[in-house]
Amino acid sequence: MRITVAGGTGFLGEPLVRRLTARGDDVVVLSRNPAKVRAGRGVAWDGRTQGAWSEHVAGADVVINLAGENVGEGRWTEERKKKLTASRLDATHAIIEAMRNAPPRKRALINASAVGYYGLRGDEALDENGSRGAGFLAELVDQWESAAREAESLARLVLLRFGVVLAADGGALKKMLPPFRLGAGGRIGSGEQWMSWVDREDVLRFIEWAIDSESARGIYNVTAPEPVRNRDFTRALGRALHRPAIFPVPAFGLRLAFGQMADEVLLGGQRAVSARAEREGFVFEARTIDQSLARQLP
């Protein structure tokens, strides 16, 4: 199968490309620096304008769009918000333009999204029918999904709303490990906020399932069946590392350092549930946080 991946060199993209090439797929990775592509065939693109890369999108059986700057990497200044938005919308529009300019063919577009779409909703359980919430992250995700929906007449469109993806070699978990290993970890703020998490291996399996399942289309929450509160996650992480988890991170300090990002990403969360995925036959292997951490931290 011919697969083109945008965002194929990162925490999620690179292991995905390795998985797909291992099963025999011909994978092209769109990158601003193809020389740094370590899995798949690197092809240059700027994430905005058409070029030689467009042919790989036009001829692909599946296009996977994971492109977008990390929302948790710093304070959300107005300039930062513009970059977060542009990195997603520009790449998505460019990919769809390449499809539109090519002869019609059977293809699929699998586009990343996030459970931040639901905003801060307290204890409300949110499946894929949940309405959009308030806040910058909800607005950003809504714009991203709206851009991707322009492909509905051109491809089988699958929108994957990811929770917090867990793997010890990157993402949120890697950042948490140093203080916890020193016995200085603990809940964030009150610890009451929900954390919709998912093991990275299950994310890779889910994307593979979305590629191969012709009936898969529309929105899926890609989150483990059992979301947890932050306080329960930190206790589980402490148990996995055989360390105490008794030193809370005060909310006021996070707000001083990160402003709005702290409220929406660190001190807030969603209780998202993966209703559609399980109903349609996908089985999460890491169903509980203890199972995932045991896998990540043997």
Q: Is the pLDDT of residue 119 over 90?
A: yes
Task: State the pLDDT at residue 211.
Answer: 98
pLDDT band at 253, cuts 50/70/90? very high
pLDDT band at 298, cuts 50/70/90? confident
- Strands, E assignment, 108-246: 108-114, 125-126, 156-162, 164-166, 194-195, 197-199, 218-222, 228-229
Task: State the pLDDT at residue 220.
Answer: 98
Quick check: helix, strand or coil at residue 295?
helix
Q: Supply φ then ψ for residue 101, to 5 degrees.
A: -80, -5
* Average pLDDT over the chain, rounded to an integer: 96
Arithmetic mean of pLDDT, 261-287: 95
CA dist., res. 235 & res. 245, Å (int): 6
Q: What is the pTM of this model?
A: 0.96
> Hunting for tokens 């513009």 — which residue is that?
82
- Strands, E assignment, the chain: 2-6, 26-31, 41-44, 62-65, 108-114, 125-126, 156-162, 164-166, 194-195, 197-199, 218-222, 228-229, 271-272
Sign of CA dihedral 192, 195, 196, 202: negative
List of domains in the chain: 2-164+198-222+273-284 (3.40.50.720)
CA dist., res. 228 & res. 19, Å (int): 28
Arithmetic mean of pLDDT, 16-34: 97
Instruction: Express each pLDDT in 82-118 by its tens digit.
Output: 999 999 999 999 999 999 999 999 999 999 999 999 9
Q: Is the pLDDT of residue 200 over 90?
A: yes
